[in-house]
Amino acid sequence: MTQITRGTWAEAGTSLDFKTGNWRSTQRPAHIHAKAPCHVACPAGEDQQAWFAELQQGYPEAAWRSLVAANPLPGVTGRVCPHPCETACNRVQLDGALAIHNVERWLGDEAVTHGWDYPVTPPDEDAPVVAIVGAGPGGLSAAYHCVRLGLRAEIFEARPEAGGLLRSAIPPTRLPRAALDGELARLLDLPGITLNLRQRLGRDITVEGLRARFAAVLLSPGCEMPKPWSVKGAVPADLHEGLALLRDFMDHGALPDAAKGDVIVHGGGNTAMDICRIMKRAGARSVTLITASGLPGPGTAPDDVINVVPRELEEAQEEGIAIIDHATVSRLIMKGSRVTGVEIVALKKEKGKDGRKRRVEFEGTERVISVDMVVPCVGEQVAPEAFEGLLSGAYFWPDNPQGRIGERVFAIGDARGSRGTVAAAIGDGRIAAEAVAAELAGEADPVTDARPEMGFDGLNTAYYAGSARVPVAKLPVPERTFEAEIEGGISRAEALAEAQRCLSCGNCLACDNCWTMCPDNAVIKTVEMATDGSHYVFDYDYCKGCGLCSEECPTGYIQSVPETS
Partner 1 sequence: MANSDTSKRLNELRMKHGRPPASPSEPKAEKTETLREAQPRFRGLESGHRACQGCGEALAARLVMESAGPDVMVANATGCLEVFTTPWPQSAWRVPWIHSLFENSAAVASGMEAAMKAKGKNTKILSFGGDGATYDIGFQSLSGMLERHHNVLYVTYDNEAYMNTGIQRSSSTPHAATTTTSPVGKERMGKRHLKKDLLSIIAAHHIPYAAAASVAYPQDLQRKVRYAMGVEGPTFLVIHSPCPLGWRHDSALTIEVARRAVQCGLFPLVELERGALTNIMPIREPRPVADYLELQGRFSHLFNKDDYRAQEELDHLQALADHNIDIYGLRGDGVDPVDTTGMSHVKRGGPLMGGR
The footprint of partner 1 (CB under 8 A) covers 6-7, 10-20, 23, 53, 56-57, 462-466, 500, 504, 509-513, 516-522, 524-526, 529, 537, 539, 541-542, 544-548, 550-552, 554, 560
Q: Which is nearer to partner 1, 29 or 163 (CB)?
A: 29
> Shortest gap between Cβ of 511 and partner 1 (angstroms)?
4
Residue 99 CB, nearest approach to partner 1 (Å): 18
Least distance to partner 1 from the beta carbon of 452, Å?
20
Least separation in angstroms between residue 19's CB and partner 1 is 7
Complex with partner 1: residue 427 or 506, whichever CB lies closer:
506
Q: Largest Cα–Cα distance in the chain?
A: 124
Residue 238 phi, psi dihedral angles, 5° rounding: -100, 50
- Residue closer to partner 1 (CB basis): 117 or 563: 563
Angle (CA) 105-267-97 rounded to 5° is 35
Considering beta carbons, is residue 302 or 519 the nearer one to partner 1? Answer: 519
> What's 216's DSSP letter?
E
Least Å from the CB of residue 545 to partner 1: 6
**Nearer CB in complex with partner 1: 10/450:** 10
Least distance to partner 1, CB of residue 564, Å: 18
Spatial CB neighbours of 240, under 8 Å, sequence gap ≥ 6: 256, 373, 375
Q: What is the DSSP letter of 558?
A: E
**Direct distance between the N- and C-terminal alpha carbons of the chain, in angstroms, rounded to an integer:** 56
Name every residue whose Cβ is closer than 8 Å to that of residue 200 and which is 6 or more positions away in sequence. 158
Q: Are residues 520 and 543 in contact, defined by beta-carbon separation less than 8 angstroms?
A: yes
Q: What is the CA radius of gyration of the chain?
A: 28
For residue 87, the minimal CB distance to partner 1 (Å) is 24
Are 265 and 242 in contact by the 8 Å Cβ rule? The answer is yes
- CB contact at 8 A, 281 and 319: yes
Nearer to partner 1, 235 or 546 (CB): 546
Dihedral angle sign, alpha carbons of residues 158, 162, 166, 171: negative
Q: Considering beta carbons, is residue 5 or 113 the nearer one to partner 1?
A: 5
Burial of 466 by CB count in 10 Å (0-12 exposed, 13-18 middle, 19+ buried)? exposed
Which residues contact residue 423 at a Cβ distance below 8 angstroms, ignoring those fewer than 6 apart? 42, 43, 44, 71, 77, 81
Residues 25, 31, 35, 36, CA torsion sign: positive
Nearest-approach distance from CB 55 to partner 1, in angstroms: 10
Pairing of strands 193-196, 152-156: parallel
Q: What values do phi and psi take at 551, rounded to 5? A: -65, -40
Contact 79, 105 (CB under 8 A): yes
Shorter beta-carbon distance to partner 1: residue 66 or 173:
66
Q: How far is CA 513 from CA 100, 180, 551, in A?
A: 27, 44, 10
CA 335 to chain CA mean position, Å: 45
Q: Closest separation between CB of residue 73 and partner 1, Å?
A: 27
Q: Which is nearer to partner 1, 181 or 532 (CB)?
A: 532
The minimum distance between CB 164 and partner 1, in angstroms, equals 38
Contact 272, 280 (CB under 8 A): no
Q: 354 Cβ partners below 8 Å, 6+ apart?
A: none
- To partner 1, the closest distance from the beta carbon of 537 in angstroms equals 7
Smallest distance, partner 1 to C-beta of residue 8, A: 8
Q: How far is CA 547 from the centre of its chain?
A: 36
Compute the 3-state secondary structure of the chain and give helix, strand, coil in percent, each to the nearest 5. 35, 20, 50
Output the smallest distance, CB 61 to partner 1, in A: 17
If the CB atoms of residues 455 and 547 are measured against partner 1, the closer one turns out to be 547
Question: Which phi and psi (to 5°) does residue 468 adopt?
Answer: -80, 155
Q: Which amino acid is at 537?
A: V
Tell me whether residue 281 or residue 525 sits nearer to partner 1 (CB atom).
525
52 or 387, CB closer to partner 1? 52
Angle, CA 476 vertex, CA 473 and CA 477 arms, to 5°: 140
Residue 22 or residue 392: which is nearer to partner 1 going by CB? 22
